[in-house]
Structure 1
Amino acid sequence: MEIIELKAKAAQIRMDLLRMIHGAKAGHTGGSLSNADILTALYYRVMNLDPARPKWEDRDRFIASKGHAVESLWCILADRGFFPKEELETFSQFGTRLIGHPNNKVPGIEMNTGALGHGLAISVGMALASKRDGRGYRVFCLMGDGEQAEGSVWEAAMAGAHYKLDNLVGIIDRNGLQISGSTEEVMGLDPLDEKWAAFGWNVISIDGNDMEQLVDTLEAAPTVPGKPTLIIANTVKAKGISFAENVPHWHHHVPSDEELARALAELSAVLAGYQQEGQVQ
């Protein structure tokens, strides 16, 4: 997809996930909205995937260590054809495969995740396997910024650098908020870039809601031979909904009927603008 198409797709995914959360009366809204651009860039432009062959050995791997923000991922996997879009209506319902965290019974999901701090260690193992098996696939791991308080993240960071895993890309959804408030009030992280660099990673800081920056940075990885890449994607919690952006309680707030209508109206206008721009170009 071209950049304008990716922007339009991200707007559509935001609308889909809001409808899904509203219908289920459950979900993590803020983080799924903040990471929608990151996942759109990965799944529609950057990663080497085949929905018809979800277990293809040379596919790129994606691990959602930030597993609670799964709603955007479910919507994208359905849109890409990993499973029928109608199944989104079962999200968080009794007996569904589409639970509130990634579930590897669903095609396209590599590993059950949700216990924060585990995803990067899994990704290190996958990237090391790729190297030792002579495969060319890359491994992308999306983490939350609140997750950086987990000690296992830093153990995995040390291992990734030690094994020179330049096929490993860590991404931090740096929206500055977690369930109990500001990350800097709960457990200060800054200078986050210097900490990761000290662990031997090549660190790049970008606007994580800017599609051009996302595509340029993600497509360029690996950027330094022999070093894993860490992308600090500075995002806005609940990105795309003016009245919800950077509001802490939208971490897992379910929109009311009125809030859903307002949000969809805003996103519909954004989508229409991208569609018109794309036609002009």
Structure 2
Amino acid sequence: MEIAELKAKAAQIRMDLLTMIHRAKTGHTGGSLSNTDILTALYYEIMRIDPQRPDWAARDRFVASKGHSVESLWCVLADRGFFPKAELETFSQFGTRLIGHPNNKVPGIEMNTGALGHGLAIAVGMALAAHRGGEDYRVYCLMGDGEQAEGSVWEAAMAGAHYGLDRLVGIIDRNRLQISGSTEDVMGLEPLEAKWSAFGWHVVQIDGNDMDALLQALREAPQAAGRPTLVLADTVKGKGVSFAENQAKWHHHVPSDEQLAQALEELRAEQARHMQKTGGGAR
């Protein structure tokens, strides 16, 4: 896909997740909006996957360690064809598969996640299995920045470097806000790049809402043989919705009817701008 198409797709995913959250009257809105560009880059351009064969042995693996921001992931998986898009209407309803955290009863989900700090350890195990088995699939793990306060993240980081897992790519959605406020007020993380480097990872810091930068960083990983890669993706919480951007209250907040209408109007305009560059219409 062209860059403009990927940006238009990200706008559509944002519209889908907002509509889903509004319908369900629950959801983690801000973090799902901030990580949408990351997921779009991975699932539409970077990862080796086959929605018709979700258990394909050679597939790349994705672990959503920040499992509470599952709404964008559900929308991407549905759009890619892992399950029918109509199922998004059941999100957080009684008996649904689409609960508020990744659920491995759904095709495309490798592990149940959401207890923060566990995802990277799982990803390390997957990458170690590939390393020892001579397999060439990659393992991607998306973490939140508030999650970096969990000690298990750093135990897994040590293990990834110790075993030289250069097909392991960690990504931090660095939007600087968590449920209780600024990450730097709750538990200061800086200098975050230096910390990951000190743990033996090759670190690339980028604008995580810039599709070009995301694609370049993810395509070039690993950039150092024998070392895992950490993409430190600086993002905006609530990205794409003017009144939600950089607002801590939108960590877990449901748009009203009026707010949904305004957000969809903004995102449709953004999508149209990108599609004009491709000569196509909105998808």
Secondary structure (helix, strand or coil) at the match of 1:156 reads helix
Counterpart-to-counterpart distance in 2, 1:100 and 1:232: 25
Secondary structure (helix, strand or coil) at the match of 1:97 reads coil
Q: For residues 3-32 of structure 1, what are the alpha-carbon distances to aligned partners after superposition, in whole Å with 9 as ceiling and x for unaligned? A: 111000000000000000000000000000
Offset of residue 207 of structure 1:
0.1
Report the counterpart of residue 226 of structure 2 in structure 1.
226
Counterpart-to-counterpart distance in 2, 1:3 and 1:57: 29
Report the counterpart of residue 121 of structure 1 in structure 2.
121
Q: For residues 179-238 of structure 1, what are the alpha-carbon distances to aligned partners after superposition, in whole Å with 9 as ceiling and x for unaligned? A: 000000000000000000000000010000000000011011111000000010000000
Offset of residue 278 of structure 1:
1.2
Report the counterpart of residue 87 of structure 2 in structure 1.
87
Structure 1 counterpart of 2:9, which letter? K
Secondary structure (helix, strand or coil) at the match of 1:206 reads strand
Report the counterpart of residue 187 of structure 2 in structure 1.
187
Counterpart-to-counterpart distance in 2, 1:152 and 1:192: 16
Counterpart-to-counterpart distance in 2, 1:109 and 1:183: 28
Equivalences for 1:161-180 in 2 at 5 Å? 161-180=161-180
Counterpart-to-counterpart distance in 2, 1:275 and 1:159: 43
Structure 1 counterpart of 2:77, which letter? L
Counterpart-to-counterpart distance in 1, 2:53 and 2:277: 34
Secondary structure (helix, strand or coil) at the match of 2:237 reads coil
Report the counterpart of residue 19 of structure 2 in structure 1.
19
Structure 2 counterpart of 1:71, which letter? E
Counterpart-to-counterpart distance in 2, 1:223 and 1:167: 10
Report the counterpart of residue 41 of structure 1 in structure 2.
41
Q: For residues 33-78 of structure 1, what are the alpha-carbon distances to aligned partners after superposition, in whole Å with 9 as ceiling and x for unaligned? A: 0000000000000000000000000000000000000000000000
Counterpart-to-counterpart distance in 1, 2:125 and 2:213: 28
Structure 2 counterpart of 1:119, which letter? G
Counterpart-to-counterpart distance in 1, 2:170 and 2:157: 9
Counterpart-to-counterpart distance in 1, 2:180 and 2:246: 13
**What 5-or-longer segments of structure 1 have no aligned partner?**
none
Equivalences for 1:1-281 in 2 at 5 Å? 1-279=1-279
Structure 2 counterpart of 1:168, which letter? L
Counterpart-to-counterpart distance in 1, 2:244 and 2:54: 35
Fraction of identical pairs, as percent: 76
TM-score normalised by the chain length of structure 1:
0.99
Counterpart-to-counterpart distance in 2, 1:244 and 1:17: 14
Offset of residue 82 of structure 1:
0.2
Q: For residues 148-207 of structure 1, what are the alpha-carbon distances to aligned partners after superposition, in whole Å with 9 as ceiling and x for unaligned? A: 000000000000000000000000000000000000000000000000000000001000
Counterpart-to-counterpart distance in 2, 1:66 and 1:153: 12
Counterpart-to-counterpart distance in 2, 1:137 and 1:262: 41
Secondary structure (helix, strand or coil) at the match of 1:50 reads coil
Counterpart-to-counterpart distance in 2, 1:5 and 1:215: 13
Structure 2 counterpart of 1:220, which letter? E
Secondary structure (helix, strand or coil) at the match of 1:279 reads coil
Secondary structure (helix, strand or coil) at the match of 2:205 reads strand
TM-score normalised by the chain length of structure 2:
0.98
Runs of 4+ in 1 over 6 A off after TM superposition: none
Counterpart-to-counterpart distance in 2, 1:84 and 1:238: 26
Structure 2 counterpart of 1:240, which letter? G
Secondary structure (helix, strand or coil) at the match of 2:102 reads coil
RMSD of aligned residue pairs (Cα, Å): 0.6
Counterpart-to-counterpart distance in 1, 2:86 and 2:121: 33
Structure 1 counterpart of 2:94, which letter? F
Structure 1 counterpart of 2:160, which letter? G
Offset of residue 277 of structure 1:
1.2
